[in-house]
Amino acid sequence: MGPDELVLLLLDVPQRTLLGVDTQVFSVGPKFMGIKMLPPGPHFLYYCSPNRHANENYWILSYYSVIVRKWHAQAERLIKLSEEEEIRYTEAVRRFEFDSQLGPYNLDSFGDWKQLSSYLSQSVIEHLEPIGGEITIAWESS
């Protein structure tokens, strides 16, 4: 893991979940545990549970070296871990324990995302981001 690289570790995400980062979309398979080699800067994460097509959630992520989230089966969404758990998993990522289960970010499509996100700074994201960091269609409609 390089010093300027972002890793997104996603625990227990069910198979067939559609998960996107920036302009890239993945269908989660049996060994998928996240995405590695994301370039520095802001990134947009979105996903859709295979069981609830209307439950699409969006986060804006940026400027961290490792982000860890765990799938909450009943809520069908990604949740934050306790600080203690997050530290433990972050250290494991830095020891490359999950490396073979992390898909690489496709740098060939990064130019498009970089152009789209060129005006997003940390302060802009913090200003626009809702409390808790999630923009959730399901919550807005309930």
Q: What tens digit of pLDDT does each residue of 83-115 get?
A: 999 999 999 999 999 999 999 999 998 988 888
Question: Which parts of 34-109 fold into alpha helices (H)?
Answer: 83-94
Percent with pLDDT over 90 in the chain: 39
Residues 9-30 have a mean pLDDT of 92
Domains delineated in the chain: 6-141 (2.60.34.20)
The whole-model pTM stands at 0.82
Q: What is the pLDDT of residue 65?
A: 86
Please give the Cα distance from 55 to 14 (Å, whole number).
14
The token pair at 96 is 């490359």
The token pair at 121 is 């700074």
Residue that wins the pLDDT comparison between 1 and 136: 1
List Cβ neighbours of 89 (8 Å cut-off, separation of 6 or more): 9, 11, 66, 68, 81
